[in-house]
Structure 1
Amino acid sequence: MNIPLRHHYLPEFYLSRWCAEDGKLCQLTKLDDGRVIPNRRSPKQTGFADRLYEIEGLPPEQAQRVESGFMRTLDTRASEALHALESDDPRMTRDSKLRSSWSRFILSLMLRDPHSIRALKAGVATQWKSAMLDLEPRYLAARRPTDPETLAEFLVQDRRSTDSRAMELAPRLIDHSGIGEVLNNMRWLVKRITSEKGEFITSDRPVFSTWTITEPDAFIFLPIAPKTVFVAVNDIETQRKIEARDPAELVTSLNMMVTGRAVKFAYARDDTLLPFVQQHMGTRQRPTFVEQLAQRYQRASDSQPTAAAR
């Protein structure tokens, strides 16, 4: 059995849309010294990290199940949904499963990259530590003479690490029914530009959106090809404003955001935009979706009295 250890946070089907005739795209990498260098890569050679979604402590055939099962199925269905989107297939409006496949893909791109996975693991570890402080007095009160002296020692019997717990949580976040329903109910459109108006860039954090997606003027942008961008909005007025924007200005503005939010990689068809990427790479960082969730949880947790205080 071939166990996948190379876990793509940018699926091959997605990156392949920027490939030139040589079957490769231009990977623009930000080095530690701030320089950005171009390299040509096939989609298989980039947009991945080894063992990114591994669940430690499980047998080898199960440890990679988030990648081999969940992510692989998600990406396969998203590829089918993207084809339907671009071909104006009417199923995208009436087939809830097909529509949900695309919504899940968008949400996955907001939390499956290495930076977000690290944030998820850190958040789970913080939550777990807080829970231990809260539960320790209860454990000591209920402890039997044959039980370990501390809750931490008792939990050693459960060999799952907080990192593993985080990876078990990731699919549930991507499948979050509330957020998925909001995405499904938004107005979707595919905006295409002509050849003389420039080309869209993508990156290791390709989704650009408003802070929240429930407000009437909320929007989501995702470049899906050099000449094509997916857009989701909540009301017709916002849609009309986007459709009325000058195409060249839209390309420049979105490229600035997608490149500005990138952590390490941006992608284009060639290196024509290298000076632009060098100027804007990583200059518009903001908390990831996972970090926002962690911050909200921490604020809620801080407002609750601990067991000791009670």
Structure 2
Amino acid sequence: MALSNNPSHDHHFVPVFYLENWADPHTGKVTEFKKRYNGVLPRLTAPKGTGYKKFLYDSDDGSAVSLEASFMMPADTHAAEASRLMLASRVKIDWTQRQRSGWSRFMMGMLLRHPEDVAELARLVDDDWTNLSQTMQDRYYQYREPEMPSTAEEWWEQNRSEFREKARLKWHRDLIDHKGIGRRLNSMSWNVANVTDSKHILLTSDRPVIINGAISDRDVSIMVPLSPTKLFIAVRDEKTLAQITGESPTQLVARVNRQVVANARSFVFGSDARYGEFIKKHFATSNESSLMQKLAEKRRLERLAKQPTPPR
């Protein structure tokens, strides 16, 4: 089979379609800012040449189907359709369910698909799959076939790695495609702000989703840069939207850029290098835990709560 027909081993945690919105129309390249040994430095690159890690969404032992071709690529295709619609439309968009779900999945993905998220999830799954629980032992003996190992412990040692990897990839997909959160995102009021009149242009990063408040809050807002001149804004309350759009375009862009750059972990992107000093000053300065870290901590606390209290 020709190599071009195989799924790429470069798994993008910043989708190519998204970075293309910052590409120079003449060169097709974006300006990547990355922290290196001698500081945060710019580099011109094609959107395809950045924001990826090899084999990021594969199973470690090859025992499970990779998420890249089975989930991430189709999800990015649907998100790209929604992105094009927002960038092209000049009037209120009549969203289809697929388009809304595609963009909601994109936002969840950008909160959960970074290499740090993959590593955090792997640690979480390792903690859950270290020991054979009593429930699993009971079920093993209940359904054991004659050709299977005589003890649950032996069976566990033979299969633990495969089960762990399948569980990790399934959890990752289910978190990004979370039905409950997806419905909440879909039900919000979606808007696109044109900030062409700003003195600045929008930047983006590997953590471009800005959430102010909890998803269930009445005054929650979610913002995502769409391009150098367009900003996605989701709200529940029109008063919240009025407060955001009541800022001058210059003030709004400056605020969004600070948050997007501060949230960055590996990369910041722009259409050129003009904001180099600003990016160096604010790069990865946010100490807020990622969504995956918050979920992992919640899971660890739940696990601790289930442990039996030692006798006194």
Q: Distance in 1 between matches of 2:92 and 2:155?
A: 52
Are residues 202 and 94 of structure 1, via their aligned partners in 2, closer, same or farther at CA, if it must alter by over 3 Å? closer
Is the 1:81–1:92 Cα contact (8 Å) retained in structure 2?
A: no
* Equivalent in 13, 16, 23 of residue 12 of structure 1: 16
Is the 2:197–2:249 Cα contact (8 Å) retained in structure 1?
A: no
Q: TM-score, normalised by structure 2?
A: 0.87
Q: Distance in 2 between matches of 1:127 and 1:63?
A: 21
Q: Distance in 1 between matches of 2:187 and 2:198?
A: 33
Q: Distance in 1 between matches of 2:165 and 2:37?
A: 26
Is the 1:77–1:101 Cα contact (8 Å) retained in structure 2?
A: yes
Alignment-derived partner of residue 47 in structure 1 = 51
Alignment-derived partner of residue 216 in structure 1 = 218
Is the 2:213–2:221 Cα contact (8 Å) retained in structure 1?
A: no
Are residues 305 and 252 of structure 1, via their aligned partners in 2, closer, same or farther at CA, if it must alter by over 3 Å? same
Is the 1:137–1:308 Cα contact (8 Å) retained in structure 2?
A: no
* Equivalent in 302, 305, 308 of residue 303 of structure 1: 305
Alignment-derived partner of residue 98 in structure 1 = 99
CA deviations 1:87-135 (Å, max 9, x no partner) are 3488954521221111111111110111111111111112223xx2643
Is the 1:136–1:150 Cα contact (8 Å) retained in structure 2?
A: no
Q: Distance in 1 between matches of 2:141 and 2:190?
A: 55
Q: Distance in 1 between matches of 2:274 and 2:197?
A: 14
Alignment-derived partner of residue 270 in structure 1 = 272
Q: Distance in 1 between matches of 2:92 and 2:100?
A: 8
SS class of match (1:40): strand
Q: Does 2:157 match 1:156?
A: yes
How far off is 1:291 after superposition? Answer: 1.1
SS class of match (1:278): helix
Is the 1:30–1:264 Cα contact (8 Å) retained in structure 2?
A: yes
Q: Distance in 2 between matches of 1:270 and 1:115?
A: 27
Is the 1:56–1:161 Cα contact (8 Å) retained in structure 2?
A: no
Q: Distance in 1 between matches of 2:96 and 2:136?
A: 51
Is the 1:104–1:175 Cα contact (8 Å) retained in structure 2?
A: yes
Q: Does 2:36 match 1:31?
A: yes
Q: After the TM superposition, which of the residue ranges 87-96 and 109-118 deviates more from structure 2? A: 87-96
Alignment-derived partner of residue 288 in structure 2 = 286
Residues 73-222 of structure 1 aligned to structure 2 (within 5 Å)? 73-88=74-89, 92-129=93-130, 132=131, 134-135=133-134, 147=149, 151=153, 153-158=154-159, 159-160=161-162, 162-222=164-224
Q: TM-score, normalised by structure 1?
A: 0.88
Structure 2: 5+ residue stretches without partners = none
Are residues 24 and 266 of structure 1, via their aligned partners in 2, closer, same or farther at CA, if it must alter by over 3 Å? same
SS class of match (1:272): coil
CA deviations 1:111-160 (Å, max 9, x no partner) are 0111111111111112223xx26439956x9699x956673x43232241
Is the 1:219–1:232 Cα contact (8 Å) retained in structure 2?
A: yes
Q: Distance in 2 between matches of 1:6 and 1:43?
A: 12
Q: How many residues align?
A: 302
Q: Compute the RMSD of aligned alpha carbons.
A: 2.8
How far off is 1:86 after superposition? Answer: 2.9
Is the 1:259–1:280 Cα contact (8 Å) retained in structure 2?
A: yes
Structure 1: 5+ residue stretches without partners = none
Is the 2:33–2:269 Cα contact (8 Å) retained in structure 1?
A: yes
Q: Distance in 2 between matches of 1:245 and 1:253?
A: 10
Identity of aligned residues (%): 29
Is the 1:125–1:163 Cα contact (8 Å) retained in structure 2?
A: no
Q: Distance in 1 between matches of 2:30 and 2:305?
A: 48
How far off is 1:182 after superposition? Answer: 0.3
